[in-house]
Amino acid sequence: SIDCCKSYSAVNSLRLSCGLPKVADITKECRFDFNTTEFVSSVCNASHLATNEEYMCSGYWPGSSSNNSSFIEEDLLCLWYHLRHKTTGTSERNLIESLQEISFDNDRVNLTCWVYINFRFSS
């Protein structure tokens, strides 16, 4: 939190900025690479990077509990849950390959980071 600001409820008390660390946002459509979100106080100019909890409240879940370099859209996790439980024979590898093709169709970056992302926690 930003210590100099006692009330986040004040209108225009915070503004968004780009933090230095790079993160990947994985959606059903493709992967987006961007700088992490940074909150900056309009009162004292203090700042902090968005936390996992703040990303989760926005519908993006960390791809790993130990590394904050990728976030998975909640809709994609929901899709994977339903495919896994209602479509016999659907594998994590098939989902990754399908998302890779969708990403290429949208002229987006390669989803090679998928090999590091584990969907098994969403049983």
Residue 7 lies in a domain: no
Instruction: Give the structural domain span for 66.
Output: 14-116
pLDDT, tens digit, 9 for 90 and up, residues 19-62? 778 888 888 777 777 888 888 877 777 888 888 888 888 888 88
Taking each helix axis as running N to C, give the angle between helix 74-86 and helix 92-105, from 0 to 180 degrees, rounded to the nearest 10: 130
**Is residue 94 one of the residues assigned to a domain?**
yes
Query: Strand pairing partners for 22?
Result: 35
Contact 13, 60 (CB under 8 A): no
Q: Whole-structure pTM over 0.85, yes or no? A: no
Say if 21 falls within a structural domain: yes
DSSP classification of residue 112 = G
Distance, CA of 78 to CA of 9 (rounded, Å) = 31
Query: For 7-21, what is each residue's pLDDT tens digit?
Result: 555 556 777 788 778
> What is the count of structural domains for the chain?
1
Residue 81 lies in a domain: yes
Quote the CA–CA distance of 35 and 16 in Å, as a whole number.
Answer: 12
Q: Is residue 122 part of a domain?
A: no
The answer as to whether 104 is a domain residue is yes
